[in-house]
Amino acid sequence: MAKHKRGPSRQTALERTLRMLIREGQFRGAVVASIDGLPLAMAGRSADKELMAGVAAWLKEFAERTHTSLDEIVARDKHGNRFVSRYFKVGNNQLLLALNIPRGRAHRRLTNRAIKEIQHIWET
Q: Could you tell me if residue 78 is inside a domain?
A: yes
Task: Band the pLDDT of 105: cuts 50, 70, 90.
Answer: very high
Nearest to 40, CA basis, from 82, 20, 10, 69: 10
* CB under 8 A, 24+ apart: contacts of 117-123: 117/17, 118/14, 118/17, 118/32, 118/88, 118/90, 119/88, 119/90, 121/10, 121/13, 121/14, 121/17, 122/10, 122/90, 122/91, 122/93, 122/95, 123/90, 123/91
Q: Could you tell me if residue 52 is inside a domain?
A: yes
Q: What is the pLDDT of residues 23-49, one digit of tens each?
A: 999 999 998 988 777 888 989 875 566
The CATH number covering residue 48 comes to 3.30.450.30
Q: What is the pLDDT of residues 42-87, one digit of tens each?
A: 898 755 666 676 777 777 777 677 666 778 888 888 999 898 989 8
Q: How many independent structural domains does the chain possess?
A: 1
Give the Cα separation of 57 and 53 in Å (integer): 6
Task: Band the pLDDT of 119: cuts 50, 70, 90.
Answer: very high
Q: Could you tell me if residue 6 is inside a domain?
A: no
Q: Could you tell me if residue 2 is inside a domain?
A: no
pLDDT at 25: 95
pLDDT at 123: 87
Q: Could you tell me if residue 60 is inside a domain?
A: yes
Residues of the domain holding 111: 11-123
Q: Could you tell me if residue 108 is inside a domain?
A: yes
